[in-house]
Amino acid sequence: MSSGFPDLVREAGVVGCGGAGFPAHIKASSRADTVIANGAECEPLLHKDLELLVREAPAVVRGIRLLMESTGAKRGIIGVKKKNAERLAPLSAAAQGAGVEVLFLGDFYPTGDEYILVYEATRRLIPPGGIPLNVGVVVSNVETLRNMSRAAEGIPVTSKYVTVAGAVPRAVTLEVPVGTPFADLIRAAGGAAADDVAAFSGGVMMGSLTTDFAQPVTKTCAGLILLPMTHTLVTRKSLTPGAMHRIGKSACDQCSYCTELCPRYLLGYEVQPHKVMRSLSFTATGEDIWNRYADLCCSCGLCTLYACPEDLYPKEACDRSKADSRARGLTWHGKTEVSVHPIYDGRHVPLGRLMKKLGIDRYDVPAGFAEMSVMPRRVTLPLAQYAGQNVPPEAGQNVPLPASKSGTSARPLVRTGERVSRGQKIAEYSGGRTGAHIHASIDGVVSLTEKGIVIEQPQERSRQHA
Ligand code: SF4
Ligand code: SF4
């Protein structure tokens, strides 16, 4: 039986909980001088990382220590928002005792972007198109570190922290079995507070929009933001990509606000969404611009949802451009040197101002952890719950990741009709491209379906109580 830390992490099926879901054993096998725990949580209204840090500070600190030992890193830093310093006093104490630094970050968006976080924590700039490892850093979400800590004790990933907020009577953070239907989360938050709602899974800035509440919570889902169907964010996100680009082509006046407020541009990278928008009008001559000035965009959405005075879609134009680039196998070919824009520090977008602009400031309430047991009768576990499978952050709702980035599906180890117990490995990732094992998140009887492995527990055992 394997026993090295990366093997234990792999065995437990740990993937990044920050959105893209990169298999954690790969990071645990790398060499670095610094490990950064990402607890910045800058998506408006989501608070699951904060609540996890309050409840499970020792496990997160243990996780970062284990990752430091496994990567050879001498320095460990936990990045959190300064506004939460008081609630995070126990975390600070635990970190101090373990020789780990706590970095208090400003309340601006998007502090959780890896390029920004690495710069804020180390003053190092990741080379264009690179990853934190290129500057000796491994970045891991705080929930991923909690899961790594549990993996070292042989505990697999079977649950997920999620926040449910927005148009609900009671915004809450919960720990639920992986595979729980969205409908159960909404019920736990008191039901929808409007007749007709849609939900942003993973956040309003970088998440995907859905009205399918039978959809399951995956290992990468940070939560749900419910909004009335008539809310501008819902209507804007519901447009087809074709319509977004058509409007952009006719209405963009090249004011360049989108570029002037782009956090990657301000950090010194060659991201210029206004030039990508310009190429919508000149596609025959603009191919180079279309690709080059979008490639380093992190899809944070600020340009579309905050900067553009015309309510156009520069982020979506960048998404499309990046997808084109990947489909053609193009790699970064712009300038390789990076120097921070002199106005970087003065042009951050405060979260409060962003929420006002988005029209969601009325939903900005604490989403404290609710000590309730949400035990669904039925869970659905997709066979791939990592990079690319839960769609968005990197790609946005309209642009699927190419196969080369989306990893392989796990192979079921169970058959329809088989009884399984919580924690049992039910699907195996056998190597090759990125992937992760999957474990039963509840006791019950299995069905293999096209959506993944469904586990259903006998009626009399299911319960949901506050
Ligand atoms: S901010 Fe809007 S109008 Fe101005 S250049 Fe960007 S997309 Fe065009
Ligand atoms: S989404 Fe817009 S603001 Fe964000 S990195 Fe991309 S181009 Fe810049």
CATH number at residue 198: 3.10.20.600
Q: Hey, which of 256, 260, 293, 349 would you mutate to test ligand 1's pocket, going by the most ligand atoms within 8 Å of its Cβ?
A: 256
Residue 290's pLDDT is 67
Is the Cβ–Cβ distance between 9 and 16 less than 8 Å? no
The verdict on 22 and 115 lying in the same domain is yes
Same domain, yes or no: 264 and 324 = yes
Domain encompassing residue 265: 239-351
d(CA 328, CA 346): 37
Mutate to test the pocket of ligand 1, among 236, 247, 253, 255 (most ligand atoms within 8 A of CB): 255
198 and 112 in a single domain? The answer is no
Distance 442 CA to ligand 2 centre (A): 40
80 in any annotated domain:
yes
Question: How would you classify the pairing of strands 159-166 and 172-177?
Answer: antiparallel
Ligand 1 site: residues with CB under 6 angstroms?
252-258, 273-274, 277, 307-308, 310, 312, 314
In a domain, 359, yes or no: no
User: What local confidence, expressed as pLDDT, does residue 405 receive?
Assistant: 44
Instruction: Please choose from 247, 261, 274 the residue to mutate so as to test ligand 1's pocket, defined by most ligand atoms within 8 A of CB.
Output: 274
In this prediction, residue 407 carries a pLDDT of 57
Count of domains observed in the chain: 3
Residues 264 and 209 in one domain: no
Given a contact cutoff of 8 angstroms between Cβ atoms, the answer to whether 108 and 351 are in contact is yes
Ligand with an atom nearest the CA of residue 109: 2
For the segment 112-118, the average pLDDT, to the nearest whole number, is 96
In ligand 2, the atom with minimum distance to the C-alpha of 298 is 5
Give the Å distance between the CA of 181 and the centre of ligand 2: 31
What is the CATH classification number for the domain harbouring 44?
Answer: 3.40.50.11540
- Dump strand ranges (E) for 336-458: 349-350, 373-375, 378-381, 411-412, 419-420, 425-428, 438-439, 444-449, 452-456
Question: Which of 323, 351, 379 is the last residue in one of the domains?
Answer: 351
Q: Do residue 254 and residue 342 come from a single domain? A: yes
Whether residue 293 sits in one domain with residue 254: yes
Same domain, 227 and 249: no
User: What gap in Å lies between CA 298 and CA 239, rounded to an integer?
Assistant: 21
Q: What percent of the chain has pLDDT over 70?
A: 90
The verdict on 385 and 277 lying in the same domain is no
Q: What is the pTM of this model?
A: 0.92
Same domain, yes or no: 89 and 221: no
What's the CA-to-centroid distance between 329 and ligand 1, angstroms? 28
Together in a domain, 215 and 253: no
Going by the DSSP 8-state scheme, the letter that residue 306 receives in this structure is: I
Instruction: Using the predicted structure, report yes or no on whether residue 196 has a pLDDT greater than 60.
Output: yes
Residue written as tokens 């639920």? 176
100 and 167 share one domain: no
Assigned domain for 55 exists: yes
How many whole angstroms separate alpha carbon 51 and alpha carbon 296? 31
Task: Examine the pLDDT at 365 and tell me if it is beyond 80.
Answer: yes
**For 316-329, what is the mean pLDDT?**
86
Q: Is the CB of 303 under 6 A from ligand 2?
A: yes
Among candidate residues 112, 105, 36, the one with its CA nearest the CA of residue 75 = 36
The whole-angstrom separation of Cα 156 and Cα 152 is 9
Q: Which amino acid is at 10?
A: R
The pLDDT of residue 384 is 78
Is 301 touching ligand 2 by the criterion CB < 6 Å?
yes
**Average pLDDT estimate for 117-137:** 96
